[in-house]
Amino acid sequence: MGFVFLWFFIGGIAHFVATETEMRIVPPWVPWPRAAVLVSGVFELLGAVGLLWRPTRRAAGIGLFLLAIAVTPCHIYMLQRTELFPVPIWALWLRPAGPGGAAGAHRVVHGPRTVGLPTGLSYYRPV
């Protein structure tokens, strides 16, 4: 849980500290890239803080999951135009599937997965 919080919290801050850099990953067809970066940064921060309080954790996880889906066009754009981004290709592939992407938010919403595993086993630590 702590890692997912940090991922989204630091990422949310980056939207305000490095707005110009964040705007570079917005696909050209998205109108108002600055507004898109700032609004998504607000939602990232709200979701991260929501993870810290048990009563809001599930709602925050759902919101972060939806946010991760909403920003997927940015990840696709980065993969399509790798020459524009000085990032190793493996990092571009890892980003949407990592703890800050839809997979990480899914873990927050649904907790540990034990389907198909012997009782009491999960493939990651429960929250």
The number of helices, as runs of H, and strands, as runs of E, in the chain is: 7, 0
Our count of domains for the chain comes to 1
User: Is residue 55 in some structural domain?
Assistant: yes
User: Is residue 120 in some structural domain?
Assistant: no
The range of the structural domain enclosing residue 48 comes to 2-110
Look up the pTM and report it: 0.72
User: Is residue 122 in some structural domain?
Assistant: no
Report the alpha-carbon distance of residue 22 to residue 119 in Å, rounded.
43
User: Is residue 118 in some structural domain?
Assistant: no
pLDDT band, very low/low/confident/very high, at 85 (cuts 50, 70, 90)? confident
For residue range 91-107, list pLDDT tens digits in order: 888 876 655 554 544 45
Least confident of 37-41, 59-63, 85-89: 85-89
User: Is residue 82 in some structural domain?
Assistant: yes
pLDDT above 70 coverage of the chain, percent: 74
